[in-house]
Structure 1
Amino acid sequence: MSGALRGKVALVAGGTRGASRAIAVELGRAGATVYVTGRTTRTERSEVDRPESIEDTAELVAAAGGEAVPIRVDHLDPARVKALAERIDADHGRLDVLVDGVWGGDHYIEWGKPVWEHSLEGALRQIRLGIDAHVITSHHLLPLLIRRPGGLVVEMTDGTAEYNARFRKGTSLSFYVAKTAAHHLAIAQAEELRPHGGVAVAMTPGWLRSEAMLEIYGVTEENWRDALVKEPHFGISESPTFVGRTVAALAADPDAARFTGQTLSSGQLAKIYDVDDVDGSRPDGWRYLVEVQDAGKPADPTGYR
């Protein structure tokens, strides 16, 4: 992938941590200039209240040999998003890749509670973060993306379209609606971008070893397998780098239009683009979830990574 995106301009919205951070790093590694936005800086935290910052992400991009521009943006604030678009326009006159990973709603989830018992404020906040912020971002940034054919939009989500076709029991109405909205955003944007030669997809990692997930299990990326004692199915988990590598490969694919309007997964694209995770494996998390974990079988990732 070295140099495959040289000269390209990318924006990773919500690139503070997790999958979006890794995508920013891999886009930069492939040569793109990457704008990284989020609400947490080294001097100001968002409501998520975690230490990861957009400056940290920019440093990781630089360490990978790329160029990053961190800009603090609340993507629910149309004026701030408009100013971001104007900044990118002034700097480059276009945008080639938009990765919308804006979220930050996990701490509002009241797992398993029906809508009438769930905090209404928390439920509506998830909807705003998962839908409103994405629409605001598209409204202001897509005019830059359509200036040249080949623009790519990646709407980050949780779950394949097939898996999310039914309600995710144990989650909540608001989480489910916020995350499944990405499937429909991709379908709609694919049609609106088609006359301009643009492509839109939704993208999901598998069981992500994000900073927060590692913290929950009390492990690091280096010793993550120690968590299997507590949760054996964690053996199918994947590093954020895995989804980062697959999205970078998609962005470099001249035939990416074959996927427009679809929801893709890291495991699916890894097979297509011959991409491995950091340990040399290829986790197929959603197939494992259906065929092993949800089926009540003993944890065994053999044949799934």
Structure 2
Amino acid sequence: MSDAGIALVTGASRSVGKGVALALGSRGWTVYVTARREGPLAETAAGVTERGGHGIAVQCDHRDDAQIAALFDRIADEQHGRLDLLVNNVWAAPEGFAGFTEKFWQRPLSDWDTLIGVGLRAHYVASVHAGQLMVARGSGLIANISSFGTRGHLHSVLYGMSKAGLDKMAADMAVELTGTGVSAVSLWPGLVKNEVMQGFIDRGLDNFQGFGLANAETPEFIGRVVAALAGDPDIAVRSGHTLITAETALDYGITDVDGNQPDSHRELFGGGPLY
């Protein structure tokens, strides 16, 4: 797969999605980016273009299957059926993010609609559409942004369920994609130095729930890892695997934007093998 391809990054108005889109833009990719809000999304698309790529903002509510289908129809029409990379990143917090401090029996059942409906189901729907385009061309990569929440309790029961589902989804998709030229992986970032975390740092905090902020991963670091995977001619050997971004970065010789090497949290979440 060429380094400069056609990508779709869902949920790209901020944080990890934005960082991935910008990293791809720096490598000349054409990047479709989605979110529900137009303003921040347009900023991401403009940033991709400023980096040397081509950013295309598409408003999309990933709770709506019809909007997802229309998104892929547009990509297929504009790019002559080509899609090299899908980054499943879109996510929706339950009502009142602080709800993660409550126990599952204290939370409304509507949490399912965000954490599973968007955090898992929407990724499956997008993967189905991406698979149709990619398999027809004989190449492509589907990358799920997952979490160490698969390995240990993190945030909530439904959060962990959704992330474990993403890892299993990549593993089983890879089985069915064998021989097609299309690969699927799931990624575990560490603590991410996104807009919220940067706010903590600006207020003088040096850790978040016991995790040091100084060596946290920037969203663009995760994007660099995704770009390396998408450009790897031997990506098939990783297909079906769950990958820790900090460890995969070492394999590809990738550093973060400040030249530092973020730490893997594998041992903090029990060690052992991944999918």
Work out whether the TM-score is over 0.5: yes
Question: Please, what is the CA RMSD of the aligned residues?
Answer: 2.3
> Which contiguous aligned blocks of 4+ residues in structure 1 show a shift greater than 6 angstroms?
229-232
1:138 lines up with 2:117 in the alignment: no
The amino acid across from 2:150 in the alignment is N
Q: CA deviation at 1:288?
A: 6.3
Percent identity for Structure 1 against Structure 2: 33
State how far apart, in whole Å, the 2-side matches of 1:213 and 1:123 are: 26
Pick from 194, 210, 227 the counterpart of residue 205 of structure 2.
227
Structure 1 residues without counterparts, runs of 5 or longer = 43-52, 292-305
The amino acid across from 1:227 in the alignment is L
Deviation digits for residues 163-191 of structure 1 (CA, Å, limit 9, x no counterpart): 734x406x221111112211011112112
Pick from 14, 18, 38 the counterpart of residue 17 of structure 1.
14
The amino acid across from 2:255 in the alignment is D
- Whether the 8 Å contact between 2:207 and 2:213 is mirrored in structure 1 is no
- Whether the 8 Å contact between 2:144 and 2:185 is mirrored in structure 1 is yes
Normalising by structure 2, we get a TM-score of 0.89
The amino acid across from 2:215 in the alignment is I
The amino acid across from 1:78 in the alignment is D
Deviation digits for residues 111-166 of structure 1 (CA, Å, limit 9, x no counterpart): 3433221222124421111111112212222211212223100011112xxx734x
Cα distance change of structure 1 residues 247 and 24 upon mapping to structure 2, 3 Å threshold? same
- Whether the 8 Å contact between 2:92 and 2:114 is mirrored in structure 1 is no
Question: Size of the alignment, in residue pairs?
Answer: 268
- The 5-angstrom pairing of residues 14-93 of structure 1 reads 14-42=11-39, 53-92=40-79, 93=81
1:261 lines up with 2:240 in the alignment: yes
Pick from 234, 251, 264 the counterpart of residue 272 of structure 1.
251
The amino acid across from 1:241 in the alignment is E
State how far apart, in whole Å, the 2-side matches of 1:191 and 1:58 are: 34
- Whether the 8 Å contact between 1:202 and 1:262 is mirrored in structure 2 is yes
Pick from 137, 140, 145 the counterpart of residue 148 of structure 1.
137
Cα distance change of structure 1 residues 119 and 213 upon mapping to structure 2, 3 Å threshold? farther
SS of equivalent residue, structure 2 residue 99: coil
SS of equivalent residue, structure 1 residue 111: helix
- Whether the 8 Å contact between 2:215 and 2:260 is mirrored in structure 1 is no
The amino acid across from 2:143 in the alignment is V
The amino acid across from 2:183 in the alignment is V
State how far apart, in whole Å, the 2-side matches of 1:232 and 1:202 are: 22
Pick from 198, 203, 222 the counterpart of residue 243 of structure 1.
222
- Whether the 8 Å contact between 1:101 and 1:156 is mirrored in structure 2 is yes
Cα distance change of structure 1 residues 124 and 31 upon mapping to structure 2, 3 Å threshold? same
The amino acid across from 1:11 in the alignment is L
Structure 2 residues without counterparts, runs of 5 or longer = 271-275
Query: Which residue of structure 1 aligns with residue 91 of structure 2?
Result: 103
Query: Which residue of structure 1 aligns with residue 190 of structure 2?
Result: 206
Cα distance change of structure 1 residues 56 and 249 upon mapping to structure 2, 3 Å threshold? same
- Whether the 8 Å contact between 1:236 and 1:288 is mirrored in structure 2 is no
The amino acid across from 2:206 in the alignment is L
SS of equivalent residue, structure 2 residue 136: coil
Q: CA deviation at 1:218?
A: 5.6
Moved more, 174-183 or 188-197: 188-197
Cα distance change of structure 1 residues 232 and 207 upon mapping to structure 2, 3 Å threshold? closer
The amino acid across from 1:84 in the alignment is L
